[in-house]
Amino acid sequence: MLAAPATGAVVGLGWPDDRLLGGAAWLLVLATSLAGWGRWVARAARLDVDLGLRLAWGCAAYLAVGGWLMMLGVLSAPVQLALLGVGAVGYGWHVVTAAPPDVGATWHALRDRPALALYGLIALAVAIDVLHGIANRQVNVNDDDLAYTALVRRLLQIGDLDERFSFRRISAYGGQTILASLGAVRGTLANPYLVDHGLFRLITFALVIGLARGRAAIDHALVAALLLVLAVLPDTSINTGSHWSGLALCLALYRTATLEDTTRRWVMVALVAAAAASLRQTNLFIAGVFVLATLAWSPQPFARRDRWTALALGFAVGLLPYAIAAWRTCGTPLYPLWPGNFNPDIQLGATGSLWRELQFFGKVAVEPTPIRVMLPLALVLFAIRDRRPGAPLTALAVACTLGFVELVHAFSLSDPPNLWRYAFGFMTAWTVVAIVEPSHQPDAAVTTPALARLIALVALLTQLAITAPSMISSYANLARDLDGAHRGPAAEEIAAPRALYAELQAATPPGATLAVLLDQPFLLDYRRNDIINVDTPGYVSPAPGWPAFAGPEALATYLRGQGIRYYAFVRGDRSRYFYRRDYWVLRTLFDSELWQVIGAHTVDAVETSAALATTRAILFERDGMVLLDLESRR
């Protein structure tokens, strides 16, 4: 148990270009390190919890410490490796001091209960999914290459996330970037899904198994069906943003709230809630409502000040550094309620009538993904009675319902698949808890009618039938990715002209500030220059704001006012991905309002940049990539 993660560290760090073996070895290192962090936290809180909660608590603690270091601008690769070492020490201490696992008793239990072999098949399906998460390199070039991977590169190289022109930065506190960087800290960007789709899939199943432990035999069919559904869920994530990590932390938040009511438990509730909120801005509302509802339904909610003090401490430790960093970078600690540097002239929610918004809400409700049977499962969700102090399951239902309504209201210019992708974490967590937690016994603390449990079982089996075709496609993609991982070099070496980006940057003086409008800014060296990535032009920028539709001279004046002398962009007819002019012209004419607005701003930025190149000195130009000196005229 000690040799395996040590060997994993040697293999993962020693062979960074090995996406498959090196990635699998590094996943083992990350899992044991987070378990070690969780062990330190559990000892400090004096709470004895299972492996799933230890892993989740370890993640929450890592995000809290990492948040403070990111705010201070020092969370670079060496510091992250040191933090992983802290977790490794905790894991090693646990291995040395804990009683060894009783392998013989486990074998006898499996031999005496052959039905448990079904869980072995589920474990095999989970292992295949995790293997896919390790090998998959098919990132979304319009999100990941443009922004998310660049944020990971920046964090590892210089230790902060101070991207003041980035739409992706203002819309998330940065916790997911810190987690994603754990997969890249070994020296490669070739495993973009290693953490979210690999490590946190394992953590999710550990949390579900811990929740289901001790259930009556009659519930095994329902639990097994649920685990199988989770194992074969279609992948609805379209980028490396938070997906399974959000689900795991939402599950951990609920499970932490069900522990014995002590002051230390409330600290952990707030810490896990802060960790979930750090992943996505939308999670902050759900986590806050859940914590307040649980507290309000607890006995004497206002009489015990220690609970409020514990919550304040947990949120301050876990979320305050992210809020400070967001304020410093984006001008707001609470986007979108407080827009900060976001363009006030751009709306993400519909501006039409209430009837139009209700129609859109109905459309979203009847098109759920990836759990297509969410509507019949709703009958189960609302039939549950939670009689425990704090009513945590009822609080979760209220938080998820209000959070889903708020999400649809705030982003009603989007489409149902996108909204369900954002809601995947908390809505799937609610579904899991509502299926596993209630009992059919009328004297239990959490109950649901027998008919509701039957509906849940039929719905889960129906979901499996619906999922079957996508499983075949998923396994075919896995075979392709495994073949590519075995034969091919690192993903970034295939997808990007690294030498071209290096030549462009070499034409910029060392230490100078460089603003970029490029397809793959993650290929730049963030240690050599102060890189400003304008990922979605016109959406986020410091006052007085990006001068959209005002011409090249207005843009040059604005950039110089921000201390930016050097500006690199890709021409619209040579862009490979996001800045293709013809592509955005078509979307501006024929797509929905959301994409029409993005298209108009992108086309304007591309055309304005090209016009600027006719009046300013060109320091470098090749293959459509241009570097300008804004102080020198042609």
- Which of 161-170, 394-403, 488-497, 544-553 comes out lowest in average pLDDT? 488-497
Is the pLDDT at 102 greater than 80? The verdict is: no
Residue 417 within a domain? no
Residue 172 within a domain? yes
Tokens of 58: 């370890």
- Last residue of some domain: 478, 506, 538? 478
Q: Higher confidence at residue 108 or residue 309?
A: 309
- Give 493's pLDDT tier (boundaries 50, 70, 90): very low
Residue 424 within a domain? no
Shared domain check, 329 and 274: yes
Output the pTM of the full model. 0.94
Shared domain check, 588 and 473: no
Percent of the chain with pLDDT over 70: 93
Q: Residue 429: which of 262, 226, 618 has the closest Cα? A: 226
Residue 63 within a domain? yes
Question: In this predicted model, what pLDDT tens digit does every residue of 618-628 receive, in sequence order?
Answer: 999 999 999 99
* 3-class DSSP assignment, residue 137: coil
Distance in angstroms (rounded) separating the CA atoms of residues 556 and 567: 9
Shared domain check, 167 and 249: yes
Shared domain check, 139 and 71: yes
Shared domain check, 113 and 243: yes
Please give the average per-residue pLDDT across 70-77, as a whole number.
Answer: 97
Is the pLDDT at 488 greater than 60? The verdict is: no
Residue 425 within a domain? no
Shared domain check, 539 and 474: no
Residue 112 within a domain? yes
Shared domain check, 611 and 474: no
Shared domain check, 576 and 474: no
Is the pLDDT at 151 greater than 50? The verdict is: yes
Shared domain check, 587 and 473: no
- Last residue of some domain: 478, 507, 534? 478
How far is residue 337 from each of residues 87, 108, 281, measured CA to CA in Å? 36, 56, 10
Provide the β-strand partners of residue 515.
532, 567
Structure confidence at residue 187 (pLDDT)? 93
- Give 490's pLDDT tier (boundaries 50, 70, 90): very low
Please give the average per-residue pLDDT across 303-319, as a whole number.
Answer: 92
Residue 422 within a domain? no
Please give the average per-residue pLDDT across 196-219, as a whole number.
Answer: 85
Distance in angstroms (rounded) separating the CA atoms of residues 604 and 598: 10
Greatest mean pLDDT among 201-215, 258-272, 458-472, 476-490 lies in: 258-272
Distance in angstroms (rounded) separating the CA atoms of residues 432 and 426: 10
Shared domain check, 61 and 122: yes
- Give 486's pLDDT tier (boundaries 50, 70, 90): low
Structure confidence at residue 218 (pLDDT)? 52
Q: What is the DSSP string of 271-315?
A: HHHHHHHHH-HHHHHHHHHHHHHHHHTSSSTTT-HHHHHHHHHHH
Shared domain check, 525 and 473: no
Please give the average per-residue pLDDT across 109-133, as a whole number.
Answer: 77
Full residue range of the structural domain in which residue 311 is found:
3-335+469-478
* 3-class DSSP assignment, residue 595: helix
Shared domain check, 258 and 126: yes
Q: Higher confidence at residue 293 or residue 105?
A: 293
Q: How many domains does the chain have?
A: 2
